[in-house]
Amino acid sequence: MTHRAPAHALPPNGPGMTSRSPSRPTRLPRALALAACAAGLASAPPRAAAQGVDVRGEVFAGSEVEEYLRILQVAGRAPLQPWSIRAFSPGEVAARLPAGTDHPWAARYELRADSARRAFHWVRPDLRAVENSGFAYGDNDGAVWAGRGATASVRAGFAARMGPLSLTVAPVAFVAQNSAFPLMVNGSATERGRFADGRVPNGIDAPQRFGAGRYARVDPGQSTLRLDLGPVAVGASTANQVWGPGDRYPLILGTNAAGFPHAFLGTSRPLGIGIGRVHARLVYGRLGQSDWSPAPADSALRFMSGLVAVFVPRGLEGLELGVTRFFHSPWPDRLSDAPFGDPLQAVLKGRLGRSGRDADGNDSANQLASAFARWAFPRSGVEVWGEYAREDHSYDLRDYLLEPDHSGGFTLGGRKVWARADGRLVSLRAEVLDTRPKSPAFRPEGPFYVHSFRRQGHTQLGQVLGSPAAYGGAAATLALDAYGPGGRWSAAWSRQQMGPSRAGARHPDDVQQALSVEAVRFRRGWELTAGAAGVYEMGRYYGGDAFNLNASLGVRVDL
């Protein structure tokens, strides 16, 4: 997702805004034209879909196919398996595929498990265009950053498997027009520094705007090389990961930013241990910063280490309980100096913690931790989930007992799926998030994902690794999805609130309300995705109100 970059507010020079970047003519007519074109294409009757389009190689974290498999699981049409450690291996994908053809997209997608030891699947070419009339807007779109104006992206590749060895190559490239708009004043006197975050410019690498002109990148995307030998999995990847059961608002890791280069070791599938099943993954990676980061160039790279683990109690199928830990540490001069053991330490480190803390107990590393649960009831077509996260550890047990909610927040969500008599599936989902800083009794508390030592915050290449709404402070979404033989229709409402830069600070409310519609329509030989969202923001960056029309159009080509 794009970080909430400031818009052309009304009035243009409201509180906290500067007009040092000249405003350009509104992009609203072009956004309206794209939205009208998308609506016309999406509303056309579906033509006969190509039979058995093979999509088993593109079940990426946050992808359309992965979300559809989750709907099938909740509806009781696909096997009940843990969902909180993604992306899935080829074997895990096979374990989650429906056994028969009793689902809406059976005539369109090839979703049967492949028992062959060798397999090859195309990752279909995917071309997308996004137009924002007023300000940057979008969510959970990986490496892509869509600023004001037009943004175009393309992805393609392949997935191959030979016995236990599998390889996916699926890079993505994008270019954003990145048109100008007034920026929130952040106190920087430099041309480069004024693009930095407006609330905490020296504490997080979340630029308001990615430079003064066109912004483009080529990213390795959802590429992975892995080896699954019996119960053990090992590999290297740049693919997005999602930790926990969250839908739109994952707290630790989601698909908002680009995936980062990492190596992993864990279980290849949930393993039985008598009292239930366990599934875990240990990850070590490299995190980078944008060109507008507040951190100096000599600390641009960070060493990432993390652990996610899930337990499924015996006799309570559908219930999964889990924990995560994620560390940001200085990049080591030598590999032997890397803090590989960080994720395995106790959460309450106290005086047993490793060295590197100052006199106030602050650590040179930053850790995030969470506990989560998901419970699916396929017979009722229901799933519920929740996650509680801390942005930093407690100094000791006493500190934890005094302020257990310090730098903490939660997400809660649920979904109900109805099976209609005509074979269609309808899903109603809702999720809320709250990570607003509390007024501290002892230690100061700032926005979620900000840490004094690691000045990039919880980000990768300028975008938040978890949910930007968690950095903002509070959010909610309510959405209705309908799946039929011709594709999918969705309508959603969301609300996002951005709090002050520190607990106790007083500002007018900054609340963003959005209404959106999206459609996926199947055609012979290709697939269309079209959407539009109207976004009205009251008190944008504590100034005037602003409106943005977001229009998108995407095409996947069958191979």
| Helix (H/G/I), strand (E/B), else coil: 350 | helix
Measure the CA–CA gap between 155 and 170, rounded to whole angstroms: 7
Residue 524 CB contacts under 8 Å (≥ 6 apart), including other chains: 47, 48, 49, 50
Position 46 scores a pLDDT of 60
Position 223 scores a pLDDT of 98
Q: Provide the percentage of residues in the chain whose pLDDT is more than 90.
A: 64
pLDDT above 60: residue 154: yes
Average pLDDT over residues 322-340: 92
Average pLDDT over residues 522-544: 92
Measure the CA–CA gap between 542 and 559, rounded to whole angstroms: 49
Give the H or E element holding residue 94. helix 90-95
Measure the CA–CA gap between 268 and 525, rounded to whole angstroms: 34
Domain segments of the chain as ranges = 17-354+365-557
pLDDT above 50: residue 18: no
Q: Of 35-39, 262-266, 290-294, 429-433, where does mean pLDDT reach its minimum?
A: 35-39
Longest CA pairwise span in the chain (Å): 69
Q: Of 68-77, 341-350, 382-391, 512-521, where does mean pLDDT reach its minimum?
A: 341-350
Position 27 scores a pLDDT of 65
Beta pairing, strands 109-110 & 53-54: parallel
Bridge partners of 135, per DSSP, are none
pLDDT range class, residue 45, cuts 50, 70, 90: low
Where is pLDDT greater, at 45 or 370?
Answer: 370
Helices (H), 440-490: 468-472
Position 171 scores a pLDDT of 98
Measure the CA–CA gap between 556 and 124, rounded to whole angstroms: 6
Measure the CA–CA gap between 80 and 73, rounded to whole angstroms: 6
Where is pLDDT greater, at 403 or 142?
Answer: 142
The token duo for 332 is 């080591």
Residue 224 CB contacts under 8 Å (≥ 6 apart), including other chains: 87, 166, 167, 168, 235, 236, 237, 238, 239
pLDDT range class, residue 276, cuts 50, 70, 90: very high
pLDDT above 60: residue 16: no
Measure the CA–CA gap between 376 and 399, rounded to whole angstroms: 36
CATH domain 17-354+365-557 topology? Porin (2.40.160)
Bridge partners of 173, per DSSP, are 154, 218
pLDDT range class, residue 277, cuts 50, 70, 90: very high
Average pLDDT over residues 239-268: 97
DSSP 502-521: STT-----EEEEEEEEEEEE
Q: What's the predicted TM-score (pTM) here?
A: 0.90
Look over the chain and give the mean of its residue pLDDT values, rounded to a whole number. 87
pLDDT range class, residue 433, cuts 50, 70, 90: very high
The token duo for 515 is 């209404």
Average pLDDT over residues 502-510: 66
Where is pLDDT greater, at 347 or 419?
Answer: 419
